[in-house]
Structure 1
C-alpha cells in the first residue's frame, strides 16, 4: 500500500517486508515555506492533543494489518478546512515512514496542516508544517489565513545555492537556506509572498494586512 501525502511518498507495505533499520532514512520531504504549507493543505488547524493510540486501518497487499497512530485532538481554531468538527489526526507509526510525534505534556498547542482523505479523516506526516503554536512568530500567526491566502496563486521558489533566479514574475525567491543555513529564517518567520494588482508576486512583511496596491517589501 503506497500513499502520496503532500509530496511525501509513504510505502506501508515495507512495514512487513523490511527490518526497521533498513529504512531509517526512508522519509524524505522537500522543505516548504509556511505559506506553501497553508496553500497546499486541505486542513490548517490550531489544536492540542488529548489522547493517542494505535489503530488498525485495514490490510496491505499481503493481507497484513496496517496500523496508524491516532491523535485525538481538541480544536482551538480552524484556519482552513471542511465545515465539520475534526476530532483526530492520523499519522504513520514511525518517523521512517514520515510519522509525526506530537506531545501531550503541558497541554501543548500545535498548528497542524494536513490532508483530508475521502473518508473525512485527516492525515499528517513529517512533510506537513506542524509547529508548536508558541514557537511560531507573531507574523506567522497573524498571516493565518488571510495574508497567506492572498499568495496562493504565487510560487515560492527555494534557493538551494547561489546564484539562483526566478523564472516568472509570479514567483518569490526563498533564500533562508543559503543565507541563514536553515529554512526557518526571516522569510519563513516574517514574510508572505503576495500577489500584487498587476499579477506579479513579491515578499511582504508587516503586522497589518497588505494594502491593495503596494510596490514591494514593506516594513512594519
Structure 2
C-alpha cells in the first residue's frame, strides 16, 4: 500500500506544485526532455555570459552579451547577444555573469536570439558528462517523440515514442533518462531509449 502511494501520490503533488508555480508566474510551459528541447529549438549553443542590461521601450527585456564557445544547432554565424523577458512572470530567464550555459532558444524574424523559461537553459557545468556527449546525438532522435509520464498508468501511443518516467522513478523532473539517455529511431522506424554512456566506446546502447 505504501509503495502504491509513493508511486502515485508523488507525481500528483509534483504536478500540482508545477501548476501552482506556473499560475504564480503566469508562464505556462511544461518541462521538456533535453532532447525535445534541442529538437524544437532554432538555435542550440554553449556560451558564457559577459554582461546584461535592461532594454526595450518599457524596460521589458534583458539583453545579455555573450561569448559563444560552441554551436550545436543553428544558422551559420556567431551570436553575441541573447534576449529574454525582464520578468519571470513573462517567462524571463535570469543568467549569471561569468557562467557558461548550454542554451536552447528561438530566432526572431529579425535574426535575434531569444530564450525563455520554456526553453532548456542550464549551466554547462551542471550537466552530466554523458549528457554533454548526448547533445551531439540528439539530432538523430528528432524524428521521435518523448511522452511524459506523470502518473500511472501511462504508455506510448505509437512505436515512434519513448516514455519519459523520471517523475515516477527518480522523484525528479530531470533524472536518469534526462541526463543519460536519448530517444533514437531504429532501422524499423520505431524509437527506443539508448544509454549515452555506451557512446564513449561502442555507440549508443539500447535500453
Identify unmatched segments of 5+ residues in structure 2. 1-22
What SS does the aligned partner of 1:113 have? strand
Match of 1:72 in 2: 65
Alignment match of 1:185 (pick from 175, 182, 185): 175
What's the C-alpha RMSD, in Å, of the aligned pairs? 1.7
Provide the TM-score with structure 2 as the length reference: 0.84
Post-superposition offset of 1:211: 5.0
Give 3-state SS (helix, strand or coil) of 2:46's partner: strand
Measure the CA separation in 2 of the matches of 1:76 and 1:90: 18
TM-score by length of 1: 0.79
Rate the CA distance shift 1:50–1:69 in 2: closer, same or farther, 3 A.
same
Separation in structure 2 between the aligned mates of residue 110 and residue 89 of structure 1, nearest angstrom: 12
**For residue 185 of structure 2, what is the aligned residue in structure 1?**
195
Residue 39 of structure 2 aligns to a residue whose secondary structure is helix
Which structure shows the bigger proportion of residues in helix conformation? 2
Indicate which of 108, 112, 120 corresponds to 2:103.
112
* 1:24 CA displacement: 3.9
Segments of 4+ in structure 1 off by > 6 A?
A: none
1:121 is matched with: 112
Q: Which runs of 5+ in 1 are unaligned?
A: 1-22, 59-64
Counterpart mapping for 1:6-21 below 5 A: none
Q: Deviations over 1:17-50 (max 9, x none)?
A: xxxxxx8431121110000000000010000110
Matched residue pairs, number? 183
The Cα shift of 1:66 comes to: 5.7
Question: Secondary structure at the residue paired with 1:39?
Answer: helix
Equivalent residue number for residue 18 of structure 1: none
Equivalent residue of 1:115, what SS?
Answer: strand
1:167 aligns with 2:157: yes
